[in-house]
Structure 1
Amino acid sequence: MKKLLSVLIAAALLAALSCPALGAAAPSRKEEVVYGILSGDGSVEKIYVVNSFYGGDITDYGDYTQIVNLSGSEPLSVSGDMITSKGSQGRLSYQGTLSSKDLPWTFGIKCRLNGREVRFEDLGGADGDLRIDITVGQNPRVTTPFFDDYALQVTVKLDKELCEDIAAEGATIADAGGDKQISFTVLPGRGAQLSLSAAVRDFEMEAITISGIRLMLDLGMDDIGGRIAMLEDTLGRLDSGAGDLLAGADGLSEGLSDYLEGLKALKDGLSSLSAGVADLSAAASSLSAGLSGLAEQGAALVSGAAAMQEAVFSAVNTQLEGSGLPTLTSENYAEILGDRAETAAIKAQLDGVMMFVQGLGSYTDGVEQLSSGAANLAGGAEKFYNSASVLPASANKLFEAGARLSGAMRELRDGLSEYKDGTGALLGGLDGSQGDISGILDLVTGGPGETVSFVSEKNTDVAAVQFVLKTPAIER
């Protein structure tokens, strides 16, 4: 890349140093408005350019068949493709008809009336169902960057008294006095297939107009980049916290598995146990105390989970600012996000959070139930000698509660794992997103680059170029 850049710079310097030796006059700063007269089928009949200068001595270049001074009666000097004027006072404009009929775009217009193809020029006074198809493509004979840098607006006006049931997919339709104005936008570097339809009577229509301009949009990339950085930082903290929670859940799950095995052994042993009531009572009391302490921690876990849920929804809503979506909550996010492909990663993340919170609820419920069962066990141990037939049944309930708790813990662990995967995927998706956004904006705005002349590459000081193209009007 550096070698190529060096070659290009050297070539540019060589060209600049060579100009005086060739004796070519430096071009004057100007603006170009390119007018194209299109036929009814979209082909180009004529192109003329209005060149506007800021006064003084003027030098311009262009291959014209005819030149008209629009600012006065004094003649312009023409030598080959060089046009000059001496000592112009104030702004000077002249119109030149180009010898070429090539625009950066190609246009095709086809019309159908009641399903039958009809020439554009023959639609005057027509009645029936009308469809107009406009095709926009790139002209391979034009190498200037206008196709890639300029957006087009294609405008069709239909008289509301003569046209009904107007439809145009992808267009903006607005009232403009007695007309309906249909406006299509073609982005830089894109072709297009544009269609509109209407039920018409005694039809007539103004000319179809096509305007080409270079988009200059201030979309606040610095602000977008800052927000993405903030989002990445927040997601990084969430991802780290999710990792810690997942590690804790793994340890808790292993402990519960061991605990459940102990409950099973207790259940099996109680069926034949008839002695050692005192030892069993002490063990049951200790178990009840431990489970009571575990249950007391449930409120803190639930509170922490609620805070994490709120943080995740807050981060996601921050990410979606400007998307047009309403604020997401645990009650509405699934309906709002639905099956949208562009928000699938976000929905997966939120699903994981909700699964985690629900699993934790099951976990705390199970702990409370298990604690209650342990308390019953401690009380029943004192009466075990006289109620030996009842104790195995209570132990079986305790085991079932432990099994439910273990299942809830597995769900919690799975939910945390999915949540961790979601935060990791989201972080990976955001990695380099500023570059992706810049690329998308380049598609919309045409990307960076200087304004060049449509008329001649010798015109190197051009402030602006605009295209205004028109078809014939349809008259009755």
Structure 2
Amino acid sequence: MKTKRILLGSMAAMLVLPSFLVTAASDESNAEENNIGQQDGSLSYKDEVIYAALQATGEQDEMYVVNNFEVTEAGEIVDYGSYDSLKNLTNLDEIEQADNKIIFTAPEGKYYYQGNMDDVPLPWNIDVSYWLDDKAITPDELAGKDGHVEIKIETSANEQVDDVFFNNYLLQISLTLDPTVFTNMEAKDGMVANAGKNKQITFTVMPEKNGNLSLEADVVDFELQGIDIKAVPSSMSIDSPDMEDMTGDMASLTDAIAKINDGVSDLNGGVTDLNDGVWSLRNGSSEFNDGISDINGSSSELIEASAAIKNALKEMSTSLENSDEMELSGLEKLVGGLSEMATGLNETATGLDSLRDNYIAAYQGLDQAMAAIPSYEITDKEIESLPTSGADQEEVVDQLVETYKAAQTAKGTYTQAKEAFDAVGPSLSNTSTGFAELEKNLTTMVDELTSSIAGMDVSESLGQLQEGLSQLSTNYEEFHVGLGSYTDGVGQLAHSYSQLHDGIVDVSVGTSELEDGVGELAEGTTELEESTSNLPDEMQEEIDQMIADFENSDFEPVSFVSPSNNDKINNVQFIIKTESIEKEEQEETEEQPKQEKGFWERLMDLFK
């Protein structure tokens, strides 16, 4: 694991000599021991700690700087800055100020002095507002109140100050809350910690970012300690995380996505084949439906022709039965009529044979297409689990389920009607055979009549003819009844198959939509695979960039007081505090003379 070493910005002040002074973050520095200005003493480095007191609403009251020097050789030191007043915090020696130069004599070791800067703004605009029960209220009015309080803290860059501090410093804003006063505390983006008996809410505002912070709580007898705001360089030590396991997981994810894409591609190919097959089935079914409709449409003509034959046979048989004598010319006409009837029966039988062959061919194609639809059963539970497969619910899964159900419905309907389909072929064969048998008998009859008409006994022959015609008429009556049953069956079959064909059409529409949906799914998984194929490397690059953004390792501290000090600056930090909000104490009966606070008391007040 690679560790990037970065300067660690000091987040809290250490107090030395008087307990409020801040020491340097490190006594070890490799900086060159150059002098500041014309001096005979030598420095290792200089730190600046800027203290600022704000009003409860964020307006700036006063500011001073504690300058901390690490003196390596005693002597006269020259520093730079524009101060309203100076105070030696190390000894009683005088400190001279000439324009922008501060001159003092420092012993070897630590040396401190304070410079007050009344009209110098901070690098940040800080605004604190208070709300009681959703109504804005001033801090003075809020003291001692009960209700629901919201404290809003907003920070932004002060354009009057060099933006180097806004761009490179983070703000740590802390509020210390007495749990006897504050309850039901809510602080979005704030970190809550225990601080003795109190609760401490800490917010962090990153460099180059404006702060928009909020704390809400229910309060009783409102009071609030001053808000602490610390600003330090954002440079810190960050260990580059071990990404091996994560990138390994990402690699597994990309491999899985690639496999999904392969599977979806196979699915897309299968659905395309299914759609092609269903459309072939639809085309074949359409031809079969047209054929069976034609057969059904011809049934009435077939029945009419058969009825005519039946009536003619019956009439001929009756005529012969009632006739005592028939002329030879009439017999010859009878032979001619029978011959024409035999020819008609032969053509009908041939047409039925052709219809049977076409029907059988179409039926075999339909049967094969129907048999190709899988008969496996998908349970409702398996269908309900499809949305978790990763496929698109509306455009793919629903279409797949609808197509499956439609295909199974079509297959079920076909299975129910299959017995009727199977009976059509034999019925056509039997009908054709019957017509052929009739044609054969009539032809035989005609041949016998023709060969024997010249020398036969007319009366005897007519008797035999009448007997034959009577038997033929009786048999044909039975055949005609069977033919009517057959045509009725064909009509029912045509109606049932029309519904089956409608189902096949619906299946073909569903498979077309399914093919479109799976095609879009395949495009999506292909795009997903392409966009995630380099995911592990991209993730590592993003993490490296994030670390680079936060570590700020190339930041060189600069002086807040004067750019002339930059060559010796080691650390600059800000300690800012708002005034506390307290209830007014009742005045004592006798006014006690107020003593003006000295510097030490005022400075210590900032830490109360």
| TM-score interval, smaller chain | 0.5 to 0.7
- Give how far 1:471 is off: 1.0
Residues 1:262 and 2:262 are matched in the alignment: no
Match of 1:473 in 2: 580
Contact 2:50/2:574, CA 8 A, preserved across alignment? yes
Larger radius of gyration: 2
Q: What is aligned with 2:167?
A: 148
2:8 corresponding residue in structure 1: none
Partner of 1:407: 509
| Bigger helix share | 2
Moved more, 230-239 or 379-388: 230-239
Residue 360 (structure 1) aligned with residue 400 (structure 2): yes
The equivalent residue for 1:295 is 374
Provide closer, same or farther for how the CA distance between residues 459 and 252 of structure 1 changes in structure 2, counting only shifts above 3 A: same
Give, in angstroms, the shift of residue 397 of structure 1: 3.8
1:392 is matched by which residue type in structure 2? A
Matched, 1:185 2:264: no
Match of 1:398 among 479, 500, 518: 500
Asked if the contact 2:71–2:107 (Cα under 8 Å) also holds between the matched residues in 1, the reply is no
C-alpha change, 1:425 and 1:29, in structure 2 (3 Å) is farther
Is the Cα–Cα contact under 8 Å of residues 42 and 73 in structure 2 kept in the other structure?
A: no
For residues 57 and 257 of structure 1, what CA distance do their matches in structure 2 show? 99
User: Percent of pairs identical after alignment?
Assistant: 23
How far did 1:472 drift? 1.6
TM-score normalised over the length of structure 2: 0.54
SS of the residue aligned with 1:284? helix
Q: Return the letter of the residue paired with 1:260.
A: R
What one-letter code is carried by the residue in structure 1 that aligns with 2:283?
E
Amino acid at match of 2:579: P
Residue pair 1:149, 1:446 contacting (<8 A) in 2 also: no
Displacement of 1:31? 5.7
Q: Where in structure 2 are the equivalents of 1:273-422 lying within 5 Å? A: 273=295, 275=352, 276-277=355-356, 279-281=358-360, 283-295=362-374, 330=388, 350=390, 352=392, 355-375=395-415, 379-384=419-424, 385=427, 386=486, 387-422=489-524
- 447-456 or 392-401: which moved more? 447-456
| Alpha carbons 2:95, 2:102 under 8 Å: kept | no
State the one-letter code of the partner of 2:511.
M
Aligned length: 413
- Asked if the contact 1:37–1:44 (Cα under 8 Å) also holds between the matched residues in 2, the reply is yes
Distance in 1 (CA, whole Å) between partners of 2:285 and 2:567 is 88
CA distance in 2, matches of 1:45, 1:193: 22
Q: State the 1:450 CA deviation.
A: 1.8
CA contact (8 A) 1:39 1:45 kept: yes
Shift of 1:137: 1.2
Secondary structure at 1:137 match in 2 = strand
Letter in 1 for 2:521: Y
3-state SS of 1:388 partner: helix
Q: Say whether 1:40 aligns with 2:56.
A: yes
The CA deviation at 1:75 is 6.9
| 1:287–1:374 contact (8 Å) kept in structure 2 | no
Contact 1:260–1:403 at 8 Å: present in 2 too?
yes
Structure 1 length as normaliser, TM-score?
Answer: 0.66
- How much has 1:107 moved relative to structure 2? 0.7
Residues 451-476 of structure 1 deviation map (CA, whole Å, 9 limit, x = unaligned):
42343544357665543321122233
Match of 1:450 among 552, 555, 564: 555
Deviation at 1:446, TM superposition (A): 7.5
Q: Deviations over 1:36-84 (max 9, x none)?
A: 3222231233444556677745989652643655xx6597998926888
Structure 1, residues 156-209: CA drift from partner, whole Å, max 9, x if none?
223222345555555455665543433333333222333445554443221111
After TM superposition, give the deviation of residue 219 of structure 1 in Å: 7.3
Matches within 5 A, 1:170-249: 170-172=189-191, 176-213=195-232, 214=234, 216=236, 220=241, 231=253, 234-235=256-257, 238-239=260-261, 242-243=264-265, 245-246=267-268, 248-249=270-271
Q: CA deviation at 1:266?
A: 1.5
Number of the residue aligned with 1:94: 112
The whole-number CA distance in structure 2 between the counterparts of 1:234 and 1:461 is 57
What's the CA shift for 1:140? 0.7
Post-superposition offset of 1:96: 4.0
Change (3 A) 1:164 1:435: same
- The Cα shift of 1:273 comes to 2.5
Alpha-carbon distance in 2 for matches of 1:434, 1:53: 45
After superposition, give the CA deviation of every residue in 1:339-389 in whole Å (9 maximum; x if it has no partner): xxxxxxxxxxx4616743443344344444444555556543331124423
| Match of residue 315 from structure 1 | none
1:134 to 153, 167, 171: 153
C-alpha spacing 1:158/1:122, structure 2 compared with 1 (3 Å):
same
